[in-house]
Structure 1
Amino acid sequence: IRQTFPSAYFIELTVRQAHYAIESTERLPPAHLITWVLPDYIQFPFLGGGSNGFSIGVIPFAIIILALVLAPSRKLFSFLALYLIPLGFTLSIPPFSWINNYLPPFSHMRGNLRWMVSAAFPLACLAAASIETFIEKGIAGREKIMRRTARGVAVFVIVLVFVTLASQFLAPRLIGNEDFMGKLVDFHFRGRTATLPASHYLEVAESAVRDIGNQLSFANAWWVIAILMWVGAGGFFYFIARWRPTSKTVLMLIAGAMTVNVFAVFSYQYHNFIPQEIMLQTPALVNFLKDHEPNPRRYRIMGFLIGDGMFREVLVHSPMPPQELANMERELLVNNTSVFWEIQRMDGLEPYRTLRHNQLLNTLINADKAGYIFDRENPNVRALTLDRVDNRDALRSVTPQEKIKDFLLQLPLLSMMNVKYIYSLYPLQDPRLTPITIPRPASIPVNIYLYKNTQVLPRIYFAERPLFSKNQGTEFLLEIAEVNDFRHTTVIECNDCVARPVGRGQPPKFVINEYRDGLLSVNTETTADEWLVFSESAMPGWVATVDGVPAKIYTANYLFQAIQVPPGKHQIEWRYEDIFMQKQKALLEYLEKLFR
């Protein structure tokens, strides 16, 4: 309950809106189905394969088919039904697609392919029940069935050999066929817009065909092992038909075959593992920040075109070995790994964002999509709700130079968000940004450009000129976007607040007593009513007090918090209280009054 209740309570404030599942629904590539009959390390670029919840091993798969056809039972069909349910969700077919797309909480979850992870358990149970049926119902003792099964397996082995020979013949010829490659690229982009030059996609298509040719090759030991698994399955069924072993021997052979399958898959994937020491090394960027910023609550960092930059500058040219890729991702702090070093990255990961954070970061600023910027000139943009992860209808295509220019226009927003350092794979030129040289790690093939934002606002400050807004939704977002200098202007959401007269008298003062996760304690001294801004997310759970008396928290600058501080000397405290505990406390107080 402690975990589920807050998740349900907060979900409407996050980017996981009611159409979240629809937005991210993927069609299962047909090639994923090959994992029923081949080890799950067999994957084809842009086609699929290696999907969770499909691989059970060659012999168990064949036994499942035999048991369902020759000795169907309620037990078998029960496990089959349990398997088909997540498969239906994965394939996104009615009625499962309707449940996944429209029924909470499924509609608030991203990625229908995740269902196949849960399918592994009923598939394993189906295999176990089928093996039990295979032995107890005497299927293993039916010589003709076993011989026919062995012949069927032999035919499939011949097909695999033929596919291997065909790929070796066709792959080099297709790579040199520009007309075929062009049609392949056009087919892949049907209904979608390409953002890179055509030559890039032709290069990627050639690389994909080359990879498929290399994988479907007798020179590839792992592909040969996949074929040998089917050869072994044919030998298994022929051995049963010819020698009629005991049930114990059959079980031992099946267990041995499954062990070989697991060992082969693990052995293949093992070379993709990386030593833990790689991720424990401190990135060069972190070393600089630790040396120059001892207090992690005085600043935030943000990346510019990190993901797209990695793709465009490195990954499109040649695949990187796992260790080299891990080195680069560590240095670039991808996937929010900055938290390992207690460094707060403003952009972070999409699943951790509130809806407002996503609107500001992923739509208005749009710092990690090289080909798009927010289209302020779109006459229809004010009518958009901007409640999707990628609000493409509010964006327009631009060149890389236009993208950099637009990002620099967003510096006031970054300053407001306490972003003191910006790191990028592309050089930026702006008088408000001071370049900082950090050593380029020898382990990565790109330069990291680091800049200090000289206009950054602190986490806690008194608003110099508060403006009160009654706008909602996109109108309010656009109002925030039009502020050129948040050092002088703070936009506070308030319907009945009155702007103070011009002239502040003595400037207000404050001293931070304590600032840690979930707590801020400040002493203030003012000669008039002032607004104190606290740049932590304005989420339910925060409670503010002035000298121990609860104070109303207003949303400031679209994301953060502000309270009104009366004249004089006061102790201000912001404290985050578990929302579950708050509701529990309120319920107990209500019950106490009710039964008093």
Structure 2
Amino acid sequence: MNQNLHSKRLQGWQGHLLYHSLFLLLLLLPLLLGKEAFGHKDARMEVYPFLTLLHGRIGTVSMLWNDINFHGFPHFVTNGYIFHPLFYLLLPLLSSVSTLHWTIFFYLLGGAVCCTQVLKREGFSNYASMAVGAVFCLRLWPWMFAPGNAFILLLTPLLLLALQTATQRTKKAIVMGSASIAFAWLGAHFHYAVILMAVGLFFAAAQMVKQKQNRKKFLLAVLSMYVIGTTIGLLRILPALGYAALSSRGALVELESRTIGTLFPFLYVLPDFSAPFLSGSIEVLPYMGAVPLALVLIAVGSRWRSSLVWACLGTYIFSVLLAVPHSPLLALLSVLPGFRALGSPARWILIGATALLPLCAAGFDLVIRDAGKAQQYVARGMCLVGGLLAAASALASLLPTLLESFQGSIARSFDARFSVYLETIPSKAAEALGTHREYLQIFVSRFLPSLAERVSTQYGLLQAHMLFPILTLLAGGLLLMPRFWEKIPAAKRGTVLFTGCTASLLLVYVPLQWSRTVERGNLEEPSKTVVFLQENAQRSFSFLPSRGLREQLQLRNATQEEILSAQKHIMFTNQNLLWGIDTADYYEPLHPLRMARLVGAIGSEIVRLPEAESLAHSSLSMEETLRVLQQRRFVVNLLGIDHLVSTWPLEQAGFRKVHTEDVAEGKMLVSVYENPDTLPFAYFPKEIETMEPDPDGAYERLLGLRGNTPATLIECTECAGKERHSGLGKITVEYKEPTRVGLSTSSTEDQWLVVSQNFLPGWHMLLDGNRSPVSLANTVFPAVRLPAGNHEVILQFTYRQLLEDSIALLRNPQASLWL
């Protein structure tokens, strides 16, 4: 009797919580309890740095504004981190690295448990629901280090639970559904928020078909969830739309390059497979485990006439049509406002991946009872595919050994064939070619072994990303083979199949996860260059860091440790946030075009610009690039950059080297250069040229200026011409906080005041306590005309002002100062 009670207890949410906790602990063990961190580039360049920025600011108004990149930007508009409840709980207790890992764990855990509850409510067995819950929480595995992606895996089943209970507990369902949609808009990628709502609509349609009563009540509840949730989401949607209007993202996003391709079907069997002849972008990993995939196929084969199969497959096909290249459906939707700004069409596959989950659960229950011939065919297919892959992979492993045994024959064959070839061409050509005979022979003798070694490393059977998927495929096929399956007692089949599903996931994902981690020290231990910048730089800039890594470190021959070390030394994308160093550069999908053009003009590699406006992506030689940088040194000055980090000799551009450090045992030299001519944070300019607001015209006019201290270009309404002022007076920075700057000024004559900080939606200026209109200096900075005398100037960023500016920008963009 106690055993029965214990069994029933494990079937409740407590048992689900225990199982999924153990599952995810095994998967994330080196991250949660070890000294490892996510190794993905975006994790190191975006997620960890931004959480480090938030670490000392969470819960304060300063968390709204990143003041140490790009002269300031409201980072939450893009990443939504300030809307993650767990960050408020964990950041005060843990490091930023540990906070991310435990946040991902709790989000995935919640998503897996809630998904299990959804499936149980739909009538699937306990074991089937738990197994599919584990599959679901790994749907975004390639990008699960992103908090917003993990968050969406929690919010999606929460929304489905709300829809399931919309007619029984309407008020609670509306609250839960509204909160799920609101948090999706506030804390996740906007594309995934749209996908969550689409999944909810598909599920709501299915519930409507099942509903025989209270359909009107159900529809009103669903409508309330979507309206309330989206209305709350406007707190982030409106600023994002406003900043999108200031950026070039929509015009430069190429949807066709981010669709799924020929690689996609292979990933259902081998999750880490790649080949030069296969293409496609992977946002949602198709791999769901060998046994769960088999269960989907069994459900389709056994119940292909059922409404469940048709509904799920129809939804899956719809998502594929949104994600494939040259899709007419994608072309039709891409004309909708804002659709292109959502980004990669490959993300739409998440809808289809979610639609396959009920089929997996249905297949599980069918196999427990009797799946018929479909189970036999699927099992045989798994063994056949697994056997062929094992043979091919074994051959790839043996290729270097086989080639080595024939190396002498290959060399002799080359000599013979080369001699014959020389006799067939003109004597002069044969004589010229003969002088290179030795080099050609070396190339042949080295190229083939090198190619064989690469094939063995990539596709060999002893490689974890090949071995474990193949093993689980073969083991799953044998398990489901009727001659073996029928020997298992009926009472134990659920347990055995559940164990098989879990094992097929862990055996594949655990080695893959371990192989994609790096030591935390790369994120927590500063280099000597970083320490130098912390002590000496007011604002820095990394000049062509990727090109330096590519050409000087020779990435193909560098180890991962050398690459990570080099990126840290050269202050690669956003890594300044880890160390609190102010830099002019920034990786930001919604970067304002005005500032992006300025940093692009002096060598930023990461801003999204047309090639003609990007110095880094021009076809110029390095000598010509340095000459252009020297000509544009005034841009470096007006951006307030006093130190530049580079692997290139910036002495040729007129800068003085003040620090040098060897990287990767002398393979690369990183230097810091001083720029003594930089302009201060706030100043009175002497020479001034004024013009009407015009982003394109101002940019072209600014680049046409010359000299280290050219005239300051100011855009203001109803003004045009040249002015000259003394520039004399006193400016005191009373306080400088991320969202508030206070200045006191004194001058005996009228002056223009320029403050070297991004003036963007959300900021306003108070002059002597009163709101003051603001002009733009050098296309980006706030400027105000001050009468003679003493004045107090305050620049302040508020959320209310952000919403007001965003609405005004969207309603009447032509009247905007920025456009």
TM-score interval, normalised by the smaller of the two chains: 0.7 to 0.9
Give CA-to-partner distance per residue, 1:401-444, whole Å, 9 cap, x none. 22222223221111111111111122222474110124435678
Amino acid at match of 1:127: C
Q: Distance in 1 between matches of 2:609 and 2:450?
A: 29
Aligned mate of 1:540, from 740, 761, 767: 761
- Contact 1:462-1:531 within 8 A present in 2 as well: yes
Q: Distance in 2 between matches of 1:208 and 1:8?
A: 49
Q: Structure 1 residues 368, 510: closer, same or farther in 2, change over 3 A? A: same
Matched position secondary structure for 1:79: helix
Aligned mate of 2:258, from 26, 32, 47: 26
- Contact 1:21-1:100 within 8 A present in 2 as well: no
After superposition, residues 250-261 of structure 1 pair within 5 angstroms as 250-261=493-504
Q: Distance in 2 between matches of 1:423 and 1:565?
A: 37
- Contact 2:543-2:644 within 8 A present in 1 as well: yes
Bigger shift: 427-436 or 414-423?
427-436
Deviation at 1:553, TM superposition (A): 0.5
Q: Highest relative contact order (Cα 8 Å, sep 6+), 1 or 2?
A: 2
Q: Which has the higher helix share?
A: 2
Aligned mate of 1:270, from 498, 510, 514: 514
Look up the match of 1:151: 380
Q: Distance in 1 between matches of 2:256 and 2:619?
A: 21
Look up the match of 1:328: 566
- Contact 1:168-1:216 within 8 A present in 2 as well: yes
Look up the match of 2:550: 311
Q: Structure 1 residues 547, 261: closer, same or farther in 2, change over 3 A? A: same
Q: Structure 1 residues 247, 42: closer, same or farther in 2, change over 3 A? A: farther
Indicate whether 1:528 and 2:749 are aligned.
yes
Look up the match of 2:608: 389
Q: Distance in 2 between matches of 1:511 and 1:289?
A: 24
Aligned mate of 2:346, from 113, 116, 141: 113
Give CA-to-partner distance per residue, 1:561-591, whole Å, 9 cap, x none. 101111111111111222467639999xxxx
- Contact 2:255-2:345 within 8 A present in 1 as well: no
Structure 2 unaligned runs (5+)?
1-232, 415-445, 809-819
Deviation at 1:270, TM superposition (A): 0.5
- Contact 2:259-2:344 within 8 A present in 1 as well: no
Q: Structure 1 residues 165, 586: closer, same or farther in 2, change over 3 A? A: closer
Matched position secondary structure for 1:88: helix
Q: Distance in 2 between matches of 1:217 and 1:585?
A: 54
After superposition, residues 464-475 of structure 1 pair within 5 angstroms as 464-470=686-692, 472-475=694-697
Q: Distance in 2 between matches of 1:113 and 1:206?
A: 37
- Contact 2:684-2:751 within 8 A present in 1 as well: yes
Amino acid at match of 1:155: L
**Which TM-score applies when normalising by structure 1?**
0.79
Deviation at 1:44, TM superposition (A): 3.8
After superposition, residues 60-209 of structure 1 pair within 5 angstroms as 60-72=292-304, 73-98=306-331, 101-116=334-349, 120-135=353-368, 138-139=370-371, 142=372, 144-164=373-393, 167=396
Indicate whether 1:573 and 2:791 are aligned.
no
- Contact 1:21-1:101 within 8 A present in 2 as well: no
Q: Distance in 2 between matches of 1:279 and 1:164?
A: 36
Q: Distance in 1 between matches of 2:784 and 2:447?
A: 54
Q: Distance in 2 between matches of 1:95 and 1:158?
A: 38
Look up the match of 1:42: 273
Deviation at 1:341, TM superposition (A): 2.1
Amino acid at match of 1:34: F
Matched position secondary structure for 1:449: strand
Bigger shift: 577-586 or 329-338?
577-586
Indicate whether 1:216 and 2:459 are aligned.
yes
Look up the match of 1:562: 783
Deviation at 1:77, TM superposition (A): 3.1
Q: Distance in 2 between matches of 1:101 and 1:207?
A: 44
Indicate whether 1:551 and 2:772 are aligned.
yes
Q: Distance in 2 between matches of 1:55 and 1:503?
A: 67
- Paired-residue identity, %: 18
Deviation at 1:279, TM superposition (A): 0.9
Q: Structure 1 residues 115, 576: closer, same or farther in 2, change over 3 A? A: same
Q: Structure 1 residues 569, 6: closer, same or farther in 2, change over 3 A? A: same
Bigger shift: 445-454 or 97-106?
97-106
Indicate whether 1:237 and 2:483 are aligned.
no
Indicate whether 1:361 and 2:579 are aligned.
no
Q: Distance in 2 between matches of 1:500 and 1:151?
A: 83
- Contact 2:399-2:452 within 8 A present in 1 as well: no
Q: Structure 1 residues 464, 448: closer, same or farther in 2, change over 3 A? A: same
Q: Distance in 2 between matches of 1:421 and 1:326?
A: 22
- Contact 1:463-1:488 within 8 A present in 2 as well: no
Bigger shift: 254-263 or 47-56?
47-56
Amino acid at match of 2:363: S
Look up the match of 1:405: 627
Deviation at 1:450, TM superposition (A): 0.8
Matched position secondary structure for 1:218: coil
Indicate whether 1:225 and 2:468 are aligned.
yes
Q: Distance in 1 between matches of 2:403 and 2:463?
A: 20
Q: Structure 1 residues 226, 327: closer, same or farther in 2, change over 3 A? A: same
Amino acid at match of 2:605: D
Q: Distance in 2 between matches of 1:437 and 1:566?
A: 43
Deviation at 1:324, TM superposition (A): 3.9
Q: Distance in 1 between matches of 2:473 and 2:327?
A: 35
Bigger shift: 332-341 or 126-135?
126-135
Bigger shift: 443-452 or 113-122?
113-122
Give CA-to-partner distance per residue, 1:268-318, whole Å, 9 cap, x none. 32033123233100122221122224xxxxx32111111122123335432
Indicate whether 1:458 and 2:680 are aligned.
yes
Q: Distance in 2 between matches of 1:206 and 1:51?
A: 34
Q: Distance in 2 between matches of 1:99 and 1:331?
A: 46
Deviation at 1:481, TM superposition (A): 0.5
**Which TM-score applies when normalising by structure 2?**
0.59
- Contact 2:544-2:603 within 8 A present in 1 as well: no
Look up the match of 1:196: none
Q: Distance in 2 between matches of 1:359 and 1:465?
A: 23
Amino acid at match of 2:597: Q
Q: Distance in 1 between matches of 2:237 and 2:630?
A: 40
Amino acid at match of 2:548: G
Deviation at 1:96, TM superposition (A): 4.0
- Contact 1:25-1:110 within 8 A present in 2 as well: no
Q: Structure 1 residues 523, 217: closer, same or farther in 2, change over 3 A? A: closer
Look up the match of 2:539: 300
Look up the match of 1:14: 247
Amino acid at match of 2:381: G
Indicate whether 1:346 and 2:584 are aligned.
yes
Deviation at 1:344, TM superposition (A): 1.8
Look up the match of 2:706: 484
Look up the match of 1:52: 284
Figure out how many residues of one structure are paired with residues of the other and give that number. 532
Q: Distance in 2 between matches of 1:151 and 1:442?
A: 51
Bigger shift: 523-532 or 127-136?
127-136
Deviation at 1:361, TM superposition (A): 2.6
Q: Structure 1 residues 334, 74: closer, same or farther in 2, change over 3 A? A: farther
Look up the match of 2:426: none
Look up the match of 2:636: 414
Matched position secondary structure for 1:25: helix
